[in-house]
Structure 1
Amino acid sequence: MRGGDVNETLADAFRQSCLAELRAPKAGNVHIFADGHRMTVADFEKSASVAAPHMARIGATVGQRVLGAMRATMSAVGSNTNLGILLLSAPLMVASEKGGTLRQSLSAVLGALTLKDAEDVFAAIRLASPGGLGRVDDQDVAAPPSVDLREAMRSAAERDRIARQYVTDFADIFNIGLPILQSSVKAGLNEADCVTKTYFGYAATFPDTHVQRKHGEAIALEIMKEFQMFDLRNPSADHGRILAFDRALKDRNINPGTSADLTVATVLAERLDRIRANSARG
């Protein structure tokens, strides 16, 4: 990329959102209190750093951002640490370059996705997990897409919560995650506690589709109910119990990765909204 191609403010917003999620204890997922699933905090930190310039490349499409960031991630860490994060963040980053509210701009971005976006995203998915995604009758990533990216995501929306965001205008982010995060901020909780509450909010609201793909629907439902047993008014006060739950999930090789990806996107959306508000005031 040439100098000047990157919006450094947006790159920093992406990077800091990823780091904020790592600093919060998220049961079953990687965080600064415990690595897991053969991945380390350092892997995620490096991934955030190398992906950020691609995510904030001025004028780039959703597909270009996802593919560029995935190539950089695989080159830097050699494994898929952030595909879900990239898929959720790229439309938000494109929307942040446009006028109107973030939600309005995002809806327009999702409605204008193209076949080329689908081709780039399919290529990124193959890089992240070659041969490991299974076969489906419609829009299998092993074959070239025949529809635009939003339609391709529609075919996976029932089994993948990240794909579902593309066809619902990120409804989970705006209707579940952001209200939890914003109310936590308003209550005066520190950043890590706000992020932990957001993560637990997602994991307790619906079965995590990453868990479901790896362990089946019954286990995913069981894990959702275990998350529902936590009433986290102040996560810091429940730190020990959260870490015990974290160890128990990792001992079972259970990683609510979709909930974690949605959490990063929620933190990013909140940051992008603040950047827009500050810019309007300035």
Structure 2
Amino acid sequence: MRPAESAVRDAFLRACELDVETQKPGNVSVDSAGHGMTAAQFIASAQAAAGALFVPGARVGTRILDAMTRTLEVAGCNTNLGIVLLVAPLAAALDDLAPPMNGREWRDATERVLARLTLDDARAAYRAIALANPGGLGDASEQSVHAEPSVDLRAAMALAADRDSIARQYANGFRDVFETGLSAVANAPADTPKEITLDVFLSFLGGWPDSHIVRKQGVTVAQSVTGEAKRHRARWRATAAHAARQDATQQLLAWDAGLKARGINPGTSADLTVATLFVAGCLDPARTGVAATRGCDWHGS
């Protein structure tokens, strides 16, 4: 018996809403469009993708390809490939679980899903990536998405794990989501879902160079942004008083404008944030606002 489909779907949609409700530096939000995209496109994409991601019994590759096909139909561009690649195995793992459950059980189930990935999953995921046409993603000397795959999807992702944080989740069993991400949710010095979202995002962005920035602007720029994220997060976390928090927030907004002016988009950190919020929203809906916003009544401990 899997967790209620409506509950996990609500958790996913809430995570995608928080992604754009929160003004995360360099990312598109309801208050700050950027990179030729708007928040409305991201919300439409989430609603379209959800119909494919949470089909009981569907293969991971099928979920990915169908979700991207539906996304492109409503958004006209790639708004959520990274999110889809991350959420598809997590959603498939829920088919083997029953409530109540905990993060350890979900992580173990995800590992089993990854171990079962096939060549057909790779073919479908390759088609999805090619359809999305993200600059630089999938270009490789070995197992390029522009050629027919000869290995299963997990093996293909493992070949890119050292240069792409999303591929690394397939290789390491989503360690960054279940460890770095959920730890940030639990320990965020904040009470509101948007503040938690910001802290999780800065945790990822300040943890290692963002893959999307590396592909677009190179390692040096990505490392510089990582250093800035560490400093901004430390300053923001240290501000308990209202006036100090307001000053730190203004600095983050100025940084957001500066990143967008330079065309820098920490997209992979945002994707990892959404995946983390999805998991956290299922395990502890009150913490991320799923219960209050959508009436989600399923959770684990």
TM-score (norm 2): 0.86
Q: Does 1:119 align with 2:123?
A: yes
In structure 2, the CA distance between the partners of 1:174 and 1:143, relative to structure 1 (3 Å rule), is same
In structure 2, the CA distance between the partners of 1:130 and 1:222, relative to structure 1 (3 Å rule), is closer
**1:239, distance to aligned residue in structure 2 (A):** 2.2
**1:36, distance to aligned residue in structure 2 (A):** 0.5
Question: Is the Cα contact below 8 Å between 2:7 and 2:282 reproduced in 1?
Answer: no
In structure 2, the CA distance between the partners of 1:98 and 1:134, relative to structure 1 (3 Å rule), is closer
Question: Is the Cα contact below 8 Å between 1:14 and 1:55 reproduced in 2?
Answer: no
Q: Does 1:261 align with 2:274?
A: no
Aligned to 1:67: 65
User: What SS does structure 2 have at the residue aligned with 1:155?
Assistant: helix
In structure 2, the CA distance between the partners of 1:19 and 1:131, relative to structure 1 (3 Å rule), is closer
Aligned to 2:212: 210
User: What SS does structure 2 have at the residue aligned with 1:243?
Assistant: helix
**1:279, distance to aligned residue in structure 2 (A):** 6.0
The structure 2 residue matched to 1:223, chosen from 204, 225, 230, is 225
The structure 2 residue matched to 1:22, chosen from 8, 20, 23, is 20
How many corresponding residue pairs? 274
Aligned to 2:152: 148
Q: Does 1:105 align with 2:109?
A: yes
Structure 2: segments with no counterpart, 5+ residues: 286-295
**1:241, distance to aligned residue in structure 2 (A):** 1.4
**One-letter amino acid of the counterpart of residue 201, structure 1:** S
**One-letter amino acid of the counterpart of residue 34, structure 2:** G
Question: Is the Cα contact below 8 Å between 2:64 and 2:88 reproduced in 1?
Answer: yes
TM-score (norm 1): 0.91
In the TM superposition, what whole-angstrom CA distance separates every residue of 1:27-62 from its partner, at most 9, and x where no partner exists?
Answer: 001112201100000010100111111111111111
In the TM superposition, what whole-angstrom CA distance separates every residue of 1:157-199 from its partner, at most 9, and x where no partner exists?
Answer: 1111100110001111122111011222xx5520000000000
Please say which of residues 175-184 and 82-91 is displaced more in the overlay.
Answer: 175-184
The structure 2 residue matched to 1:31, chosen from 1, 24, 29, is 29
Structure 1: segments with no counterpart, 5+ residues: 1-5
The structure 2 residue matched to 1:251, chosen from 239, 261, 265, is 261
Output the CA distance in 2 between the equivalents of 1:103 and 1:277.
21
Please say which of residues 144-153 and 267-276 is displaced more in the overlay.
Answer: 267-276
Output the CA distance in 2 between the equivalents of 1:251 and 1:131.
19
In structure 2, the CA distance between the partners of 1:135 and 1:85, relative to structure 1 (3 Å rule), is closer
In the TM superposition, what whole-angstrom CA distance separates every residue of 1:102-138 from its partner, at most 9, and x where no partner exists?
Answer: 1111111111111111111000000000785464221
Q: Does 1:242 align with 2:242?
A: no
In structure 2, the CA distance between the partners of 1:131 and 1:172, relative to structure 1 (3 Å rule), is closer
Q: Does 1:129 align with 2:127?
A: no
Question: Is the Cα contact below 8 Å between 2:136 and 2:215 reproduced in 1?
Answer: no
User: What SS does structure 2 have at the residue aligned with 1:138?
Assistant: coil
Question: Is the Cα contact below 8 Å between 2:137 and 2:215 reproduced in 1?
Answer: no
Aligned to 1:176: 180
Aligned to 1:3: none
**One-letter amino acid of the counterpart of residue 129, structure 1:** N
Output the CA distance in 1 between the equivalents of 2:299 and 2:16.
22
Aligned to 1:53: 51
Give RMSD over aligned pairs: 2.1
In the TM superposition, what whole-angstrom CA distance separates every residue of 1:58-109 from its partner, at most 9, and x where no partner exists?
Answer: 1111111111110000111110000000000011111122136111111111
Aligned to 1:138: 142
Output the CA distance in 1 between the equivalents of 2:281 and 2:79.
22
Question: Is the Cα contact below 8 Å between 1:177 and 1:198 reproduced in 2?
Answer: yes
**One-letter amino acid of the counterpart of residue 216, structure 1:** G
Output the CA distance in 2 between the equivalents of 1:76 and 1:115.
29
Identity of aligned residues (%): 40
Please say which of residues 232-241 and 141-150 is displaced more in the overlay.
Answer: 232-241
User: What SS does structure 2 have at the residue aligned with 1:140?
Assistant: coil
